[in-house]
Amino acid sequence: MRLQAIKQVTGTITVLTGLHIGAGKDSLEIGGLDQPIIKNPLTGEPYIPGSSIKGKMRSLLEISKFSNQRQKTRDFVLKGKPCACAEKDCPVCTIFGTSAAEKGPDLGPTRLIVRDAYLTEEWRKKFSNGELLMEIKYENTIDRVRGVADHPRPLERVPAGVAFTFHLSFKIFEDDDPKLIDDVFRGLRLIELDALGGNSSRGCGQVRFDELRCEQEKVDLLKYTL
């Protein structure tokens, strides 16, 4: 198995509707929001973990194209699990990897790395000048009996319009199908059609990938469908 290329895909991610990627309970601030977003601990800047982007690409591809093509992938999806068939011809296991214990001898290293996405230079400047404030959305659940809002939970979001840099790296081995990287672009298009982060069913997390390039070549995500 010989590595032939490591393609670099770059661009920006623009937030179209408030983005909430939760920080988890460990970072809960006393007296702070109960649903904070993830931030760089050194600068306080919001960012999008590469694992959030990669995980979303994977799950959307698994429930669409790969479930249609592969019974084994569909079986995992029906159990609510990521595909771990580790078969040589499984695009999802090849692109996204499986846990080391299940890794097939022929599969080789995970092809895709998605970097953490940080604020673009423009938005980083605005953030450091205090011109970029996070948005707080109050999420109510309605008490059906009394007809009043119960427990308003403040939800922190990156506001619409903010842009992050985007960067992924994709390894190509000599025996790989040259069309394998198309499924990566398909995964990005599916995120545009779906959403990133939490509370997407309430309208959060619509994003757009702009200025996408693979090496020097322009990538048009509109070419890619389910």
Residues of this chain that interact with Zn ion (CB under 5 A) are 83, 85, 90, 93
90/117 with CB nearer Zn ion? 90
CB of 225 to Zn ion, least distance (A): 22
Helix, strand, coil shares of the chain, percent, nearest 5, are 30, 30, 40
Closest distance to Zn ion from the beta carbon of 89 (Å): 9
- Give 38 or 93: the residue with its C-beta nearer to Zn ion: 93
Residue 163, token pair as written in the block: 């842009």
- Give me the least distance between CB of 67 and Zn ion, in Å please: 11
The residues that bridge with 167 in the sheet, in sequence order, are 10
When the beta carbons of 12 and 73 are compared against Zn ion, the nearer one is 73
- How distant, in Å, are the alpha carbons of 28, 138, 156, 158, 210 from that of 123? 25, 25, 18, 11, 15
| Cβ closest to Zn ion, residue 66 vs residue 209 | 66
Q: How far is the CB of 22 from Zn ion (least distance, A)?
A: 28
Give how far Cα 5 sits from Cα of 2, 175, 188, Å: 9, 12, 21
Q: Which residue has the tokens 């982060």?
A: 197
